[in-house]
Amino acid sequence: MERVLGIGGWFVRATDPEALVAWYRECLGLDLDEHGSWQPQAGPTVVAAFPSDTDYFGSPSQQVMLNFRVSDLDAMLAQLRARGAAVSPETQDMDGVGRFGWVTDPEGNRVELWQPA
């Protein structure tokens, strides 16, 4: 059986695509080349399905949520707040899994940040 090797891309609709890509570069530090290619560090990727009526993704119109691994959640959230990003005031700790925080990008997409345990 053939298997996928990893995530090959993340595609999102935006009213201002250039500004949104710039936000991900400047606020989250994604080192994207001129084609949008990024070489993430090796690590776990979670695939999970949520009930259709979940409010975990923020807006009910958001069908998927991107999750980025970070090494220091508190530092990342502070960096985002300093740049004026819409950071959720709460964080969540899950024993054996890690810590989670959330930010909403300029297009209204809720993004999860995960500091693995």
Residue 93 lies in a domain: yes
Give the pLDDT score at 4: 82
| Residue 72's CATH number | 3.10.180.10
Q: Which domain holds residue 104?
A: 17-116
Please determine, for residue 5, whether its predicted confidence score (pLDDT) is greater than 90.
Answer: no
Verdict on whether the full-model pTM lies above 0.85: yes
Specify burial of residue 113 (Cβ count, 10 A radius: 0-12, 13-18, 19+).
buried
Query: Hey, is 4 helix, strand or coil?
Result: coil
Contact (CB, 8 A) for 20 and 105: yes
Give the pLDDT score at 8: 86
Using pLDDT thresholds of 50, 70 and 90, give the confidence band for residue 17. very high
Residue 12 lies in a domain: no
Residue 5 lies in a domain: no
Residue 94 lies in a domain: yes
